[in-house]
Chain A
Amino acid sequence: MPDSGIGASVTRKEDKRFLTGRGRYTDDLNRPGQAIAYFLRSPVAHAVIKSIDTSAAEAAPGVVAVFTGKDMETDGVGSLPCGWVVKDKHGEPHKAPPHFPLVRDKVRYVGDHVAMVIAETLAQAKDAAELIEVDYDEQPPVIDAAGAMQGALLHDEAPSNLCYDWELGDEAAVDDALSKAAHVVKLDIVNNRLIPNAIEPRAAIAEFSPAHDSYELFSTSQNPHLLKLILCAFVLGIPETKLRVIAPDVGGGFGSKIYCYAEETACLWASKRLNGRPIKWTAERSESFLADAHGRDHLSSITLGVDADNKFTALKVLTTANLGAYLSNFATCIPTYLYATLLAGQYITPVIYCNVKAVFTSTAPVDAYRGAGRPEATYVVERIVEVAARQLGVDPAELRRKNFIQPDQFPYQTPVALTYDVGDYEPALDQALKMIDYSGFPQRRAESEARGKLRGIGFSAYIEACGIAPSAVVGALGAGVGLWESAQVRMKATGSVMVMTGSHAHGQGHETTFSQVVSDYLGIPYEHVEIVHGDTGQVPMAMGTYGSRSLAVGGSAIIKACDKIIEKGRKIAAHMLEADVGDVEFKDGNYTVSGTDRSKSIGEVAFAAYVPHDYPEGVEPGLDETAFYDPLNFTYPAGVHIAEVEIDPDTGVTTIVDWVAVDDFGKVINPMIVEGQVHGGIAQGVGQALLENCAYDENGQLMTGSYMDYTMPRADNLPSFKVDMTESPCTHNPLGVKGCGEAGAIAAPAALMNAITDALGQEIDMPASTEKVWRVCQSRRMAAE
């Protein structure tokens, strides 16, 4: 195995600063003369604001300014946009009610932004906020997605609180196939709402320079370029050249830091209002719970048709998706194009139909969260397949095997728009069965029963679409942006390399992985590669990090830029070696004249490029190349997870006794980092299935607004994972990579719920709380007595 190139488990170079407390996070930064912003948030879920009196707050000690939505309106500040237009089943665009950074006349969820107080200190800002008098005319809140269409109207622009009624597939064909199926299997499921919990809360420092008439924003963003684009083009109406966004070290995102939020927008605007005073805001954890975009929140009715030979014939899925009070930037595409398109799973199902009704409720906005639509799809597919196996009385592993798309069928056109380029599903299943000792399960179950415990085993043969995505494809589906990525590779005169990448890292270890790739590809020492990201002032226009796209798309852009470096270097080397360009080969960092031992290292070539005293005619000095990569297709990571659980019927406590994951991520650059991503993903998936649940009460108050009530998974909730990999390289990107960041979170909930319901012999919804599980155990006990 190489020490530091592709395939090596190199220790992460970024960990030295993270683990020694030397990371540089937004809240660590301070600007001279900064003032502190605090947001007065709505204490009620739904109300018309009859009046806001800020006079006492403005007069309070230390207060610099108090702003409301009216002030922003006066300045022409726009709505936070939704960047993906989804057309409903009638071809009409989704309902797009405005989402102003500070509300104008109505609040629509607890945590909504009523006013911004800027003061010399945070305590002064909070003191002043208490002096703001708001006259709320309370309206009935709309909490549950199920009843949202009958609830009080939240936006005049969206009758029945319906954002869109969307479909994919041929409903008549699916109904016909279901009517002819030998078996029809039905299941209703809840995909519970989650609150992302990045370890670093969101923060921003905005500074307008009157002297330069330009802005600088430090922000905890996963994609500073997109944030800049949205702020400039849609919200504040300033030239893109006048705003620099810097996302320094960022402590986790999981999707919640993709979006342009009210707070950083308001800080940026306010800094100009206040003639260049830097404005700093750092979220408190309570604010993160209340107002960062939440995830999931689907209700689905599933029907699967199976023929007499146990082959799937049709799948019908009717889903209601809760989008919350306003449309977050990508809210519309998550329960549609990132969800329904994955409903084929790893299986041949000839016809599939999905209908999605997306509704507004008086809850926090909902958008992408680790997996973003694909966990919801996998949960639909893998739960109904497991239930089908139980109803048909067949082994769940074998039912899956029977319906797998076969290796010779790739590229495989699914009935839900996607074309899988490559895959090989049986080896992962076989390996997972072996690793969990599947044949020994009946004995283990009997042993558990002898101890008064219930034991269950559950599968999840997931697939996901990563590496989002071909710009023309997503454009045709309504995306407002292209989804390519950029890279700039800058060889220095002395042979080291700077790589400017649009793939922002906030825990993924890109600095290590990308360095391995560049080191391997250019044949220069790993230590000589420096990765620069997260600064729109240094990195070319970019699209950022989400959807497990960094290596598949961002890494491919780096390869393309490296190719340009190599090609230009070949011309310079040919001149230096007095050979024809066509005779010069590049390998392991050296240009060599074919068939000779005459060679120049890439470092020598770089030096010549910057000191071009003796230089080829017509070739520009310097060795600094930029590339943009637009993927040809999504990538399709897939795999099999198997969970084994033991339940204590006395308490309802579920213990995960074993977990195997066999994933196909294509080529793997750093196995240690990939394994870490799998571990973290599974932990989040276990969190969703067993522990986490965002709950609002009937008044719209968030009942799980702190770690006292919102249950994050912890080390003692998790087993020691057994992780292995298969490899069918992606066919359409230069590295053959697929992406691994979300797989665990996508696969895990179905595996765990399948195991728990196997143990219980009864369906329950997520999260499988101890009380829910205990109630089933109690009813089993009563029935047995």
Chain B
Amino acid sequence: MYNFDYHRPASLAEAASALQGSDEAKLLAGGQTLLATMKQRLASPSDLIDLSGIGELKGISVEGDTLVIGAMTTHAEVAKSDVVKGFCAALAKLAGGIGDPQVRHRGTIGGSIANADPAADYPAALLGLGATVVTNKREIPADSYFIGLFETALEDGEIVTQVRFPKPQRAGYAKFANPASRYAIVGVFVSQGPSGVRVAVTGAGPSAFRVSEMEQALAGNFSPDAIAGISVPSDSLNSDIHASADYRAHLVNVMARRAVESAS
């Protein structure tokens, strides 16, 4: 790890100004990717702005038909939250399947979606539920938030503050985990809610994506059989030592069916 200056602001405004004051500053949420990368000397931020002291970034609440999760809420907190379980059990299940207990007790929803790892679980939930990412500057619909490999719509100086989820009638998540890292080789989140049926896939491509053909089929008949024959093209999917692109394409269908089957 290289040297850096450490800041622990007490407010969002303070964090934003610290971020603006440096070209090479990085926000530190749970640090589950950033710190490991820094230890390997693959990242060398000049400043680390630790968000853990900002109370307004934490917490889980329901506002009407919307679930609000603060950006600094850990995966473990989401997984065990009765509020989340009551609102959308699939979301709690997804959070409970991220990494391992150590990761779940440090990693945060804001950190995960700001990093936008192609194999992370949360992007599937955000896209699959039609969530809204709230920052210190604006609100970004999930559909326009995930841009590409580790790439989001966040601009310089923008800090994720919370994620807002609309209440689904039903939702399900099925994940085929990488046997080593337990990241998603393919994770599929399906929901039926205010904006219709949504099917979102993580792990398979460079960035989480929706499968409109499956969404249309499920809109007419929300059952695994409705999508049994629908495949996604493998050309743009990821390929690595754990799973080739066509295996991933196949798994998208299998996981989508299992997600539908498990939806509640």
Contact = CB atoms under 8 A, between A and B. Distances in A.
A711 B1 contact: no
B186 to A, nearest CB: 10
Contacts of B243: 770-771
A121 to B, nearest CB: 12
B178 to A, nearest CB: 8
Contacts of A703: 241
B179 interface: yes
Contact of A651 (B1, B2, B181, B254): B254
Interface in B122-151: none
A286 to B, nearest CB: 8
Nearest to A704: B241
A710 interface: yes
A740 B106 CA distance: 40
Interface string A131-170: 0000000000000000000000000000000000000000
Interface in A758-785: 769-771, 774-775, 778
Interface in B236-264: 241-244, 247, 250-251, 254
A771 B181 CA distance: 16
A707 B181 contact: yes
A709 B247 contact: no
Contacts of A770: 179, 243
Nearest to B185: A770
Contacts, number: 40
A564 interface: no
Given A123-B1, A651-B254, A771-B243, A708 B181 contact: yes
B244 A691 contact: no
Interface residues of B, number: 17
Contacts of B41: 126, 130
Interface residues of A, number: 24
Nearest to A771: B247
A703 B239 CA distance: 13
Contacts of B242: 709, 769, 771
Nearest to A695: B241
Contacts of B179: 691, 711, 769-770
A53 interface: no
Contacts of A704: 241
Given A123-B1, A126-B41, A651-B254, A771 B244 contact: yes
A704 B176 CA distance: 20
Secondary structure call for the A interface: loop
Contacts of A651: 176, 251, 254
A130 to B, nearest CB: 8
A430 interface: no
Chain B CB count within 10 A is highest, among A695, A703, A769, A771, for A771
Contacts of A774: 247, 250
A712 B180 CA distance: 7
Contacts of A286: 40
B68 to A, nearest CB: 32
Interface in A99-130: 123, 126-127, 130
A704 B179 CA distance: 12
B120 to A, nearest CB: 13
B180 A710 contact: yes
B119 to A, nearest CB: 10
Interface string B176-199: 100111010000000000000000
A660 B189 CA distance: 39
A778 B241 CA distance: 19
A670 to B, nearest CB: 32
B180 A709 contact: yes
A650 interface: yes
A709 B241 contact: yes
Contacts of A778: 250
Contacts of B1: 123
A709 B241 CA distance: 8
Interface in A424-476: none
B253 to A, nearest CB: 9
A143 to B, nearest CB: 14
Given A650-B254, A651-B251, A709 B244 contact: no
Contacts of A652: 247
Nearest to A775: B247
A283 B11 CA distance: 40
A290 to B, nearest CB: 13
Nearest to B41: A126
A710 B181 CA distance: 8
Chain A CB count within 10 A is highest, among B1, B180, B181, B250, for B180
B40 to A, nearest CB: 8
A359 to B, nearest CB: 23
Contacts of A771: 242-244, 247
A531 to B, nearest CB: 35
Contacts of A775: 247
A651 B258 CA distance: 11
Given A123-B1, A650-B254, A708 B247 contact: no
A651 B176 CA distance: 8
A691 B242 CA distance: 10
Interface in A635-681: 650-652
A573 B176 CA distance: 72
B241 A711 contact: no
B190 to A, nearest CB: 17
A397 to B, nearest CB: 31
A708 B180 contact: yes
B18 to A, nearest CB: 24
B249 to A, nearest CB: 12
Nearest to A122: B1
B176 A709 contact: no
Contacts of B241: 695, 703-704, 709
A650 B176 CA distance: 11
A223 to B, nearest CB: 31
A219 to B, nearest CB: 25
A652 B248 CA distance: 12
Given A651-B254, A695-B241, A711 B247 contact: no
Interface string B147-180: 0000000000000000000000000000010011
Interface in A682-734: 691, 695, 703-704, 707-712
Interface string B214-253: 0000000000000000000000000001111001001100
A709 B181 contact: yes
B176 A707 contact: no
Nearest to A711: B180
A643 to B, nearest CB: 18
A704 B40 CA distance: 16
A727 B208 CA distance: 58
A123 to B, nearest CB: 7
Contacts of A711: 179-180
A769 to B, nearest CB: 7
B104 to A, nearest CB: 16
14 contacts: A286-B40, A651-B251, A651-B254, A652-B247, A707-B181, A709-B241, A709-B242, A710-B180, A711-B179, A712-B180, A771-B243, A771-B247, A774-B250, A778-B250
Given A708-B180, A770-B179, A771-B244, 17 more contacts: A127-B2, A130-B41, A286-B40, A651-B176, A651-B254, A652-B247, A695-B241, A709-B181, A709-B242, A711-B179, A711-B180, A712-B180, A769-B179, A770-B243, A771-B247, A774-B247, A774-B250
Interface of A: 123, 126-127, 130, 286, 650-652, 691, 695, 703-704, 707-712, 769-771, 774-775, 778
Which 9 A-B pairs have CB atoms at the shortest separation, nearest pair first? A711-B180, A708-B181, A711-B179, A771-B247, A650-B254, A709-B180, A703-B241, A771-B243, A695-B241
